[in-house]
């Protein structure tokens, strides 16, 4: 059948001849694919579900299962193939963080200096304790000169305090605060011991996560993700019913907070829709950013193998909670989650009901995502400058494309006092008040007072401080 078609094909090609050249389309497969595309971190080697041996890599050399970042999955696993679907168009380059102005390096150097003997790696509990002593003990007095003075490494010891300054940690760790804070939070909740987490898989996950945040974003970067995770830790730790949450829920909550904005493009959903972004074509125009973050997060969780030793049922449950909590950060669906929490408070909260606990976790995630408005003023004003700068950069691009630009995204028209006090009045203050009504603790009431204080400060701001 195929042979009989060949004469017709040659006849068609002969008819399209222009001079001595054939008028053939230039297809992607007509070009040689660079080797780095297949060897890059995150590339996935696909194998048949029923085959005992994975399929060979199409560029030769056999399957790449032993290389760093490699993962072999079934062809039906859509989530694990998500990053591969996006692909690389350029060789990986080293980038510089907007906040730290330091080159962000990802290597095993930091990991090796935290371990003194190879035997420690066999026991996650022992290694976790060693990490905690080395990174957060008050005896560690090493300092770095920062814009706002000397900051101690021992600040990590205050990870459970609401006035914890993630921006300072980002400076003293050269932009790697997500790595250190993420590891500390897993220790704080005893998750290494609870799930027998493999230390190297955890480190691999945190490294991959950092690499997939865009350091050039002023606000939606790894520092913001670490800040949200630390805030979630504080909010959940001060719940009277914290012990009612299952360890799987706490693990998934920390993973979701760390990954909730992973691979954020630095623009909002409306911009992606107006520019017909590839993300819109893949995820549609409903919660497209949150869908993207969720898929990337689950891909990295699978690629790192951080929960691969758990049962399939437990893995599915953790991934489902991660997706659920990341989707809850969609501001377009803000009122829906607020109304669900109000309904729960009216009907009565049952800590033994999994769905009730999920509603609480969603609201805690939403509060954590907006925690910058509730931090002490010295920290709040820094986050305010960063979020406005990201908005204004989008506005600059919209002007170049001749799009209509809203006042908040126009650096020439935006009034910081109006923009940020309006956000507090309509979003942040009602949200944290609802959380405080549910928790009914002095800790949550203090947070509400901080928000009121920050609002008063923003009213007096005419131009952003340098």
Active site residues: 220
Q: How far is residue 355's CA from residue 335's CA, in Å, rounded to a whole number?
A: 18
Which segments within 14-173 are labelled E, that is strand? 17-18, 21-22, 44-47, 71-74, 143-146, 149-152
- Say which residues have a Cβ less than 8 Å from residue 185's Cβ, sequence separation at least 6: 159, 229, 230, 233, 254
Q: How far is residue 166's CA from residue 151's CA, in Å, rounded to a whole number?
A: 11
| Token code pair at residue 377 | 């003023």
Q: How far is residue 115's CA from residue 269's CA, in Å, rounded to a whole number?
A: 43
Q: Which residue has the tokens 């590839």?
A: 278
Q: How far is residue 244's CA from residue 440's CA, in Å, rounded to a whole number?
A: 17
Q: How far is residue 7's CA from residue 13's CA, in Å, rounded to a whole number?
A: 10
Total Cβ atoms within 10 A of residue 140: 15
- Say which residues have a Cβ less than 8 Å from residue 70's Cβ, sequence separation at least 6: 43, 44, 45, 64
3-state SS, one letter per residue, for 297-364: HHHHHHHHCCCCCCCHHHHHHHHHHHHHHHHCCCHHHHHHHHHHHHHHHHHCCCCCCHHHHHHHHHHH
Q: Are 96 and 103 in contact (CB under 8 A)?
A: yes
């Amino acid at each position: 059948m195929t042979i009989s078609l060949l004469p017709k094909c040659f006849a068609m090609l002969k008819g399209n001849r222009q001079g001595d050249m054939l008028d053939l389309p230039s297809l992607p497969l007509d070009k040689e694919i660079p080797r780095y595309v297949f060897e890059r971190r995150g590339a996935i080697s696909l194998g048949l579900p029923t085959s005992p041996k994975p399929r060979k890599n199409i560029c030769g050399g056999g399957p790449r299962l032993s290389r760093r970042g490699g993962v072999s999955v079934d062809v039906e696993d859509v989530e694990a193939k998500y990053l591969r679907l996006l692909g690389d168009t350029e060789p990986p380059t080293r980038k510089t963080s907007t906040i730290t102005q330091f080159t962000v390096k990802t290597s095993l150097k930091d990991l090796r200096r935290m371990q003194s003997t190879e035997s420690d790696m066999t026991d996650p509990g022992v290694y976790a304790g060693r990490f905690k002593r080395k990174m957060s003990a008050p005896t560690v007095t090493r300092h770095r000169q920062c814009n706002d003075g000397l900051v101690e490494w021992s600040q990590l010891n205050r990870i459970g305090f609401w006035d914890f300054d993630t921006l300072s940690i980002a400076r003293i760790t050269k932009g790697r605060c997500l790595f250190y804070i993420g590891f500390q939070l897993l220790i704080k909740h005893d998750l290494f011991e609870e799930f027998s987490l493999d230390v190297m898989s955890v480190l691999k996950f945190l490294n991959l996560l950092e690499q997939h945040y865009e350091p050039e974003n002023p606000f939606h970067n790894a520092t913001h993700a670490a800040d949200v995770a630390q805030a979630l830790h504080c909010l959940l730790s001060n719940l009277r019913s914290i012990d009612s949450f299952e360890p799987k829920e706490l693990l998934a909550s920390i993973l979701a907070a760390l990954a909730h904005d992973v691979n954020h493009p630095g623009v909002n959903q409306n911009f992606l829709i107006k520019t017909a972004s590839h993300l819109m074509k893949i995820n549609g125009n409903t919660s497209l950013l949150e869908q993207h973050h969720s898929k990337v997060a689950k891909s990295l969780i699978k690629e790192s193998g951080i929960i691969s030793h758990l049962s399939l049922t437990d893995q599915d449950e953790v991934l489902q909670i991660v997706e659920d909590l990341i989707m809850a950060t969609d501001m377009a669906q803000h009122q829906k989650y607020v109304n669900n929490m109000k309904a729960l408070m009216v009907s009565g909260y049952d800590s033994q009901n999994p769905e009730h606990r999920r509603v609480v976790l969603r609201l805690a995630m939403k509060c954590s995502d907006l925690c910058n408005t509730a931090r002490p003023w010295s920290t709040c004003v820094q986050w305010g400058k960063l979020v406005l700068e990201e908005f204004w950069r989008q506005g600059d691009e919209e002007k170049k494309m001749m799009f209509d630009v809203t006042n908040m995204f126009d650096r020439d028209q935006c009034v910081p006092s109006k923009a940020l006090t309006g956000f507090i009045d309509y979003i942040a203050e009602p949200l944290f008040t609802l959380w405080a009504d549910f928790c009914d603790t002095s800790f949550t009431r203090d947070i509400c007072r901080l928000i009121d204080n920050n609002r008063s400060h923003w009213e007096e701001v005419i131009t952003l401080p340098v």
